[in-house]
Amino acid sequence: MKKVGLIFALEEELEETKKIFDNAKVHSIYNLKIYECKNDKTICFLVVSGMGKVNAARTTQVLIDFMNVDYILNVGVAGSISRDVKKCDIVIGNKLVQHDFDFTSADYEKGEIPNIGQYVYCDEELVKIAKTIKINTNIIFGVISSGDIFISDEKMGEKIHEKFDALCVEMEGASISQVCHLCNIPFLVIRAISDSAYEKDNHLGFEEFLEISSKRAAKFIEEFIDKI
Ligand code: ADE
């Protein structure tokens, strides 16, 4: 049976996906509560990492080292930074970049990490499977950008969009992709849009849409997980 690790930043994001499984056994590792859920073909390990790149990176390493996962999925919400990407749309990352990594003083590109590169590519097979999923939601494939900043400034959103051709921003995906790349674990980032950097007070939109967008992401996972 394939083992799949699913990482969520927030409790609310995990809750919606946990509902698609019947029951769960709980593992406690350090401060992490890891829910082991089985279906016919896969064993899934669901865990809340907490927000931000460091929390997400260490949770990824814990799933790889303690649970021996074959795949990692990062699931949750994101803020749109493209006028073409609307609330509740799902964005699947084909590549990830850390918009807050800056070693440009040494002639590297913005977001370029010396031992990694500027972008980390999601697993091609998982992207291919994702393209076969048909649910009642707009699914868009493109660049996802991560950083330890909640983007609520229109100008900052526009800059990240232009610099990296990114569709949305969140705070974990690219660090998860970096750890998976270093450990040779196939991964995919799946984000439902909760807010837009181009709307006023988007943290309010984020709070309002957190549950409904997390439900969309869970619906995607329900269809996707059996196809891995
Ligand atoms: N996650 C959801 N919305 C976000 C935003 N606007 N910036 C960063 N992470 C987010």
- CATH of residue 84's domain is 3.40.50.1580
| Pocket lining: 7 vs ligand 1, CB cutoff 6 Å | no
Q: Which atom of ligand 1 is nearest to the CA of 149?
A: 8
Q: Which atom of ligand 1 is nearest to the CA of 203?
A: 6
Q: Is 36 a catalytic residue?
A: no
Residues spanned by the domain of 9: 2-225
| Pocket lining: 91 vs ligand 1, CB cutoff 6 Å | no
Query: How far, in Å, is the centroid of ligand 1 from the Cα of 195?
Result: 7
DSSP code at position 121: E
Query: How far, in Å, is the centroid of ligand 1 from the Cα of 202?
Result: 9
Tell me if the pTM is above 0.95. Answer: yes
| Pocket lining: 170 vs ligand 1, CB cutoff 6 Å | yes
Residue 72: phi and psi, rounded to 5, are -125, 135
The pLDDT value given to residue 41: 87
Closest CA to 27 of 65, 74, 72: 65
With vertex at residue 174, the alpha carbon angle to CA 168 and CA 176, rounded to the nearest 5 degrees, is 130
| Pocket lining: 169 vs ligand 1, CB cutoff 6 Å | yes
Residue nearest to atom 3 of ligand 1 (CA): 79
| Pocket lining: 166 vs ligand 1, CB cutoff 6 Å | no
| Pocket lining: 151 vs ligand 1, CB cutoff 6 Å | yes
The pLDDT value given to residue 15: 95
The pLDDT value given to residue 40: 82
Q: Which residues of the chain have pLDDT under 50?
A: none
- Beta strand residue intervals within the chain, DSSP E: 2-8, 25-29, 32-38, 42-48, 71-80, 90-98, 120-121, 139-146, 166-170, 187-196
Number of domains in the chain: 1
Q: Is 195 a catalytic residue?
A: yes
Are the C-beta atoms of residues 168 and 79 closer than 8 Å to each other?
Answer: yes
Please identify which of the residues 13, 16, 89, 172 carries the catalytic annotation: 13
The pLDDT value given to residue 77: 96
